[in-house]
Structure 1
């Protein structure tokens, strides 16, 4: 298969490096300096592992011919331009595998068709350090993907994507991709959203009782929206997260608190991609993540005041009306 990875940012640089060790793949990115560094010096991975891998990187305008599989890791805010770049470089059976945050599959189905779109969630984190360099912030023993289709069918294309992703780490077939997407959305909305608000890592959110309590209540709100939407199992690696995370009383919240440490403690060094975007002066995916929870909540009649506050704070940070600081806790009622 002829392979491409579009969006070689923090995650894409690392995944592209691992795949490049075993297969030929084009890493496509709009950052000219980053592309040059990748070609000249290889993809440098630091953090919880340390390695450098020779890779082939190109700009979108340098694409030639067509690809059989495209791994999509651009921010959803850049989907339109990414799709436009790809249109002349895919054929009728090209597989589009989205590893994006949020719930990207519906918009891709409209463009590429149901048969070609495969979804996968990423259960590890990374921070872009500079041209050619990305930091893996998760425990190397805790890396995984969940891959599948929204209709639950296990097709040849699903198996092909699984094989490619396993060049890096275990990939599990998701019979319940909708539930798996919601499980990933829980992490993105709660930890990434709050990390962007406060300018901190996941670990810092769990290290202070005030912020940890807010984490719990944003999680509760987001699970309630997903449940009303129809999710019966918020699955990661075949494990339903809801019994470990959801609570109704304060006593139950305190009983469930150790589960949050167990699930997200291995990713304590992670700085959310939305916070990285803020630091670079870029638009975040807040409207595609927490904003999605808010929109679905309104449609279903589920109140989402905490997610609404997160969206409001991050939008104000993007407009330079606020800074990402721990003092933004006072804005949550």
Structure 2
């Protein structure tokens, strides 16, 4: 099977590295010249909570000369308008595009790729891009291997092709099959809005949020806003690693939420990494999406809006947020 990992940043590098240990033909696709060159010359290195190295084959989009049976989409949603038409040209007519992007991008993807060719998923581990060819796994290694990915059909069926793709992805880590795809994507969106959003807005790791009482309180408020918005939008939330997300509504079960997030305590939001590199963030596709849908279903989302404001200002001014200053701004909403 011809497989492409399209978008090889922190997550894509790790996914591509482990897939490259299989019998399949795997290409890591990215636009970063130095990264592509290092991957081809020195291989992919995964450090952090593990130590793994493997030779890989990498190339730039314009260098692709074949079509693929399976494409794993890991680019940021901000690039979808240019990336998706390119993917359409390299995906076989009976091929599968597996969307592993943050948020809920499948509606936009269907404007370019036929619905029958799409499977959606959720990455359940965190990583940091360290340097060309090197990515650091920030999630506990055992947790990563036990629960690396979650995938599902758009119609919620557990199909033969879904099971086939799982056997391939299990080389990365245990891949769970979902019969509630939309609920899965929403549950992941809510965790990202609370912890990735705060990581970017406070310029800190998830662990910094978990151990700071006021920051953690704000995380629970952000999560509560998202739960209420999703419920009003008729979403049936999927469990995250056997944790019912809606159990955290109304700021309930803080100890369980803290425990649930501990394996990701070393994670730093990719949006924060984008701010440091002066790149466009996905804030409008994460916290901004909750604000947008909240307006439609008439659920107030002041804390999600404040996160959007802080990160947007940081992006526009090229100045990283300051923990205490951002925290004070958020606490004005309490």
User: So what's the TM-score if we normalise by structure 2?
Assistant: 0.95
Equivalent in the alignment of 1:16: 16
Equivalent in the alignment of 1:149: 153
Structure 1 residue 279 and structure 2 residue 276: aligned? Answer: yes
Offset of 1:329 from its aligned partner? 1.1
Which of 231, 246, 250 is 2:249 aligned to?
246
Structure 1 residue 328 and structure 2 residue 326: aligned? Answer: yes
> Residue 189 of structure 1: SS of its match in structure 2?
helix
Offset of 1:79 from its aligned partner? 1.0
Checking the alignment, whether the CA contact within 8 Å between 1:201 and 1:270 is kept in structure 2 is: yes
> Residue 120 of structure 2: SS of its match in structure 1?
strand
Offset of 1:30 from its aligned partner? 0.3
Equivalent in the alignment of 2:236: 232
CA distance in 2, matches of 1:88, 1:278: 32
Offset of 1:158 from its aligned partner? 1.7
CA distance in 1, matches of 2:327, 2:319: 12
Which of 262, 266, 270 is 2:263 aligned to?
266
Pairwise CA RMSD:
1.3
Larger deviation: 230-239 or 288-297? 230-239
Equivalent in the alignment of 1:295: 292
CA distance in 1, matches of 2:283, 2:166: 28
Checking the alignment, whether the CA contact within 8 Å between 1:203 and 1:268 is kept in structure 2 is: yes
> Residue 317 of structure 2: SS of its match in structure 1?
coil
Structure 1 residue 73 and structure 2 residue 74: aligned? Answer: yes
CA distance in 2, matches of 1:6, 1:290: 24
Q: Deviations over 1:217-238 (max 9, x none)?
A: 1111111111111123332245
CA distance in 1, matches of 2:101, 2:249: 25
Q: Deviations over 1:129-160 (max 9, x none)?
A: 01000000001111221110232012233223
* Structure 1 unpaired stretches of 5+: 248-252
Equivalent in the alignment of 1:94: 95
What pairs up with 1:1-333 in 2 under 5 angstroms? 1-22=1-22, 23-143=24-144, 144=147, 145-237=149-241, 239-243=243-247, 245-247=248-250, 253=251, 256-320=253-317, 322-326=319-323, 327-332=325-330, 333=333
Offset of 1:187 from its aligned partner? 1.3
CA distance in 1, matches of 2:15, 2:320: 31
